[in-house]
Structure 1
Amino acid sequence: MTGLVHRAWSAARTAGAITPKTPAGYRFRLLGEGACLSFPPGAIFGEEWIEIGDRTLVGERVSISAGMGPGVDLGPHSIVRIGGGCSIGRGSHIVGHHSIDIGDDVFTGPYVYITDQNHVYDDPETPIGRQWPRNKAVVIGSGSWLGTGAVILPGTRIGRQSVVAGGAVVRGEFPDHCVIAGVPARIVRRYSPEDGWHTPGPADPNPLRALRPGA
């Protein structure tokens, strides 16, 4: 009986996966060759404004959305763009309203959260959940790795070949080739041709740039 259940579940996973050749795959603005969204998926909507590149694997129960809900016209341009050769860990959420750009060969652990929208608290008398949210574009550079449970907040720009530690809460601008960790996240290691990987100090250019969003 156990073997039968396992075989049935394996068959369901195969049949339920979303690929460029399945009917659900046609709804995406782009779903590249060899790309696959594993079964069971999370919340997937706004596919017309979502692009996923070649050979990208999206794990089980990953939610990818564009807009506040299904059926909303978001204009002529894509909102969420995931490059080729990426691997998005199970249970992650990519929640786009304005612009999320994930480069090629980006890997994430499970339960990563990426969003370009956040609530505001400008009016102290209005419940925060009822105040109109604010959007700011997110960019994650090619070749980067995001550890388990990392949170990427609106306005974040992460350079190429960078590491985000598990559980980090990230907001701000970060250069190529750095290690980002903590709550709030900061640069804990950087790479330069002269010094290799090292702990940043006062001599590094803008070592605390990530703590000054928009600088």
Structure 2
Amino acid sequence: MFFKIKWLFSALFLSLFLKKIRFPTFIAFPVFFKGLNRVSIGKHVRIFPGCRLETHGDGEIIIEDDVSLAQNVHITSGTKLVIKQGTLITANVYITSIDHNYEEIGVPIPRQSHKYSETIIGKNCFIGMGVAIQAGTILGEQCIVGANSVVRGTFPDYCVIAGVPAKIIKIYNKESGEWVRV
């Protein structure tokens, strides 16, 4: 219980710098933030130690209510990046709305421009350990992403995706009430 009080005070302190925060929300240090004034955090959000949230340029991160970010989650945004309510993101996950250009031969990649694509994680999603969600990805409601998957693209509601690159392996059949292999 003591750690929750400590995490609540951390969130209170950070509220001075965030664009928006709703309480109760719990944030455990150490956490790395860049561009806090473009980060909005909903109610009942839990951010565990080692998380990194950063915005670049016009980037914006919106974390809705009842979201949990486990240890060592890295979220970086150069445009709008939304994690909708009820989503659980497990440890060592990377989510971005930024791609690096590489087309200019002879120019180091860090010196080349970036491409920005809106990234949205739907309501009640589960993101497995070690997942990389790339720029422009849109996950529907209640998507389950298998551990160590690399995700890019648009995925419908109620599906299980996994692999490198990630693809749909199961879809929920509303008529039978079962998850069906694709």
**TM-score after normalising by structure 1:** 0.78
1:25 aligns with 2:7: no
| Contact map agreement 2:171 2:179 (CA 8 A) in 1 | yes
- The partner residue of 1:120 within 97, 101, 104 is 101
Amino acid at match of 2:110: G
Larger of the two Rg values belongs to structure? 1
- Equivalent position of 2:51 in the other structure: 62
- Equivalent position of 1:209 in the other structure: none
The residue correspondences of 1:39-188 to structure 2 (distance < 5 A) are: 39-41=29-31, 43-67=32-56, 74=58, 79-188=60-169
Cα distance change of structure 1 residues 15 and 53 upon mapping to structure 2, 3 Å threshold: closer
- Equivalent position of 1:189 in the other structure: 170
- Equivalent position of 2:27 in the other structure: 37
Deviation at 1:49, TM superposition (A): 0.6
Deviation at 1:110, TM superposition (A): 0.5
Q: Secondary structure at the match of 1:18?
A: helix
**Structure 1 residue runs of 4+, over 6 Å off?**
none
Q: Secondary structure at the match of 1:148?
A: coil
Moved more, 168-177 or 190-199: 190-199
Identity over the aligned pairs, expressed in percent?
Answer: 27
| Contact map agreement 2:136 2:152 (CA 8 A) in 1 | yes
Amino acid at match of 1:84: D
State the number of aligned residues: 179
Q: Secondary structure at the match of 2:37?
A: helix
Mark the runs of 5 or more structure 1 residues left unpaired by the alignment: 1-9, 69-73, 201-215
Mark the runs of 5 or more structure 2 residues left unpaired by the alignment: none
| Contact map agreement 1:16 1:39 (CA 8 A) in 2 | no
Query: RMSD over aligned Cα, in angstroms?
Result: 1.9
Amino acid at match of 1:108: I
| Contact map agreement 1:56 1:86 (CA 8 A) in 2 | yes
